[in-house]
Amino acid sequence: MAGNDNFVIDRRQFILGASAALAAGSFSLIPTSFAEAKSIGGIAVGGRPSAVAAQPSARLRFTERPMPIPPGSLSGGAAKLQELSEEAFSLIRLPEANEQFPGIDGSGMAAAVIDTGVRPTHQMFVLQGDSRIIKERNFSSENGGWADDAWDTHGHGSHVAGLIAGRELVVGGFSSGGVAPGAGLVSVKILDRNGTGDLAALARSLVWLRRWNGANGRTVTAVNLSLGDPGNYVSEADALRRNQIFRTISREIDRMIRQDVVVVCAAGNAYHYYQAEGLAFPAIMRQTVSVGAVFDSDLGPYTHPSGLWSANAAANKIVPYSQRLSLANPGGTAVFAPGTHLISASHLSDTGLSTLQGTSQSAPIVTGAVLRAQQLYKSITNRLPAPADVRSWLVQSMTTLDDGDDSVQNTGKHFPVLDLPQFLRTAEIAARLP
């Protein structure tokens, strides 16, 4: 499809990274974020995952490109897509949170988005000349190598940022907005226009973030990592013994957490590949908030192009590809959140919208929730909550779901789902304790 770039449907993008080191010292790369392809009224959503050859270095990679949507009215498939995106926010009870906690929108907090960069001029991030993007940093070779130019040339990072802190935007009947529209954003680019980068850049970006201070001493209060390696680990120790760069990244994340920065990580989307409990790295780190994906609405029987299916794809059911690890394990999946058919910012124009799905999209929803909880807690105590407490509040305030009823080997266990008003209420109670 050619021409108009006001409406963009991103084919589902997935992450490739370094797995356990092979005996020869190379790394095997496999997709870790499942690509769902489904035609909704003629609109293609997603793309199939593909394998790539082993590479000699630890790399991260997204594949698939945004695809333009021809202009038209909100009818048929387009109307359904908008409905599905809205249901995702209803599932976490965002409208109730807005009503019960007025003014708690992430203001004064800031999240770093370590990704493909962000389109800073997009109208989801700019209002009357005031930008939500308070700092940019580029660790890729793109944009002339300029350190302060993190322009998004791929699309994934802009989409993630919009889900965290994008202001509400309505374009041609489509609408989108973030969970914490009052928060600031720090755009950190480690992946290029092809969606490729390396784990060393992730480590460097974490060092820079930990040391960065903005105007009036402002720092980030949360980090969103909608990326990871393609592994499936049952413990932090299991991951760290595999790879030196994992240990370096782990140390930097630990240092950020000691500064009361909450690190939110996508759980990984290779469950259908492993058919066993586990999480990707760095989501397996027990200090992080790991996030899995659930369906955001009732779709009925649902078949994926790879052959994966759900007999009854319903709201709050785990998508077949989302990695998961019981909370009985240290570092288990902290929470699940909607991860399908989410509309957010596109990188192709200042008003463009796109749709993606996977744990990459579930993570920023939780990051937005964390920013709101941090604002609420600090408004009462004048300090940030400890990241361990934030993770605990998510678990305490959860509703639960059962894992079952699709084409993968289900665990039969219970998992937590984000309930935003209850999460904020738990944070408020904790803040008022003597």
Catalytic residue among 360, 362, 389, 397: 360
- Indicate the DSSP class of residue 25: S
**Vertex 343 angle, CA 1 and 187, to 5°:** 100
- Report the run of H or E that residue 377 belongs to, with start and end: helix 359-381
**SS3 (DSSP) at 165:** helix
Contacts of 194 (CB under 8 A, 6+ apart): 61, 62, 154
How far apart CA 147 and CA 68 sit, in angstroms, is 30
Phi and psi dihedrals of 266, rounded to 5?
A: -65, 135
Say whether 73 is catalytic.
no
Q: What is the residue whose two structure tokens read 């950190």? A: 188
Catalytic residue among 154, 156, 341, 347: 156
Q: Go through the chain and tell me how many residues it has.
A: 434
Say whether 156 is catalytic.
yes
The token pair that represents 382 in the structure block:
């004048």
How far apart CA 319 and CA 312 sit, in angstroms, is 11
> Are 430 and 330 a contacting pair, CB within 8 Å?
no
Catalytic residue among 105, 115, 229, 403: 115
> What does the buried/exposed string (b/e) look like for 44-82 if buried means 16 or more CB atoms within 10 Å of the residue's CB?
bbbbbbeeeeebeebbbbbbbebebbeeeeeeebbebbb
Say whether 115 is catalytic.
yes
Active-site amino acid positions: 115, 156, 360
